[in-house]
Amino acid sequence: MKIDLLLTDCHAATLSEGEGGYGVIEDAAVAAAEGRIVWIGPRADLPTVSARRTERLDGRWITPGLIDCHTHLIFGGDRAAEFEQRLGGATYEAIARAGGGILSSVRATRAASEAELFASAMERLEGLKATGVTTVEIKSGYGLDRDSELKMLRVARRIGREGGVRVRTTYLGLHATPPEHRANPEAYVDEAVEDILPAACAEGLVDAVDAYCEPIAFSPDQVSRLFDKARGLGLPVKLHADQLSDSGGAALAARYGALSADHIEYATQAGVAAMAQAGVVAVLLPGAFLMLRETRIPPIDALRRHGVRMAVATDCNPGTSPLASMTAAMNLACVQFRLTPQESLAAATREAAHALGLGADLGRLEVGLRADLAAWDIQNPAELAYWLGKPVLHARWLDGVRS
């Protein structure tokens, strides 16, 4: 068998479905050809191969490349001053209602050029790549007008071409009401639904559609208008749901068969049951929980009881989660939300792939899946959620190519 890449002298955590635990293969070998895994198993069982490149990993662990399935990676400026305000006692809602929060990032993003947005996002991306990330979801939502939203999505596509990661783009048109529409939010909903989304779709810039469903943002009825439009365009949907209040977001996501419902700190038992029935992935965002000093954790026990898939992501953004490390997100999910290390690794690989609609192609080490891989300087997989700040990545491969 002729192959492009052979990795030997390693231990593999396959994260395969139904195996339980990490899906460990001790003293493993992994072979890849044409960007996909063509063989994986114990090295003693490796068939005769002719490899263009062979790499011995000297006993390191190999996992699927990590997947950050919820980011706002592209934005202008920062919101460090708001961080200071929150430490001084101001609430997120109060800052937002005073014209700060998302709208301050909108002003900076509108003022930035595509080149400037690309350069700053690439700096943040380096943090994710250094923690084993090979796939990143990137949302718009800091433009909130046609030109600026398309600008963000074009930058996201460029990152996918030049950034050394796989990128999925998400149109987050209903993120906040822009200042020019403050007196008439419905006019902005019309624009987001009937103008911006079709234009972005026509340019091939959108892989999924998202919205922020909260009293300080958009109502279920407004979100439904956007989701109906997305459905008509053949696009899957995701939802910022039940982060700050019980707004019925989990149930709304379930009604539309969403890929994921994200945050869900205030999701009800009924909402969780609806998510389970519809196959909606729960995306947990412990960085925002930490930065906002929240106290109500997502309903983890209910998610487990109903068999809802749980993913973990950084929610990298300038205001509520300036987090650019997937391994730190995994640690926080364990410490704050009481996930096990095995759950957190599955949440950053297999389950995150499902949250992006990529579960058939990514997130596990199995024959036929893409050879997006990460090798680690660790003694066991639990260390990926254990170390906080210690660099443990040895190498990444995207489609079997080291990057």
Task: Establish whether 143 is an annotated binding residue.
Answer: no
Task: Establish whether 181 is an annotated binding residue.
Answer: no
Collapsing DSSP to helix, strand or coil, 192 comes out as: helix
Q: 306 and 271 in contact (C-beta within 8 Å)?
A: no
Task: Establish whether 320 is an annotated binding residue.
Answer: yes
DSSP state of 47: P
Task: Establish whether 319 is an annotated binding residue.
Answer: yes
Shortest CA distance to 290 belongs to which of 348, 246, 332? 332
Exposed e or buried b for every residue in 191-228, given b needs 16+ CB within 10 A? Answer: bbbeebbebbbeeebbbbbbbbbbeebbbbebbbbbbe
Rounded to a whole number, what is the distance in angstroms from the first to the last CA of the chain? 25
Task: Establish whether 349 is an annotated binding residue.
Answer: no
146: left (phi over 0), alpha (psi -120 to 50) or beta: alpha
Task: Establish whether 142 is an annotated binding residue.
Answer: yes
Give the C-alpha separation, 136 to 282, whole Å. Answer: 17
Which pair of structure tokens corresponds to residue 93?
């809602």
Shortest CA distance to 288 belongs to which of 163, 102, 99? 102
Exposed e or buried b for every residue in 105-132, given b needs 16+ CB within 10 A? Answer: bbebbbebeeeebbebbbebbebbbbbb
Residue 218 CB-half CA count within 13 A: 31
Task: Establish whether 364 is an annotated binding residue.
Answer: no
Task: Establish whether 317 is an annotated binding residue.
Answer: yes
User: Residue 99, exposed/middle/buried by CB under 10 A (0-12, 13-18, 19+)?
Assistant: exposed
Residue 131 CB-half CA count within 13 A: 28
Task: Establish whether 315 is an annotated binding residue.
Answer: yes
Give the C-alpha separation, 211 to 224, whole Å. Answer: 10
Collapsing DSSP to helix, strand or coil, 87 comes out as: helix
Per 3-state DSSP, what percentage of the chain is helix, strand, and coil (rounded to 5)? 40, 25, 35
Q: Which residues contact 26 (CB under 8 A, 6 or more apart)?
A: 11, 42
Task: Establish whether 240 is an annotated binding residue.
Answer: yes
Residues annotated within a binding site for N-formimidoyl-L-glutamate? 142, 317, 319
Residues annotated within a binding site for Zn(2+)? 70, 72, 240, 315
Residues annotated within a binding site for Fe(3+)? 70, 72, 240, 315
Residues annotated within a binding site? 70, 72, 79, 142, 175, 240, 243, 315, 317, 319-320
Residues annotated within a binding site for 4-imidazolone-5-propanoate? 79, 142, 175, 243, 320
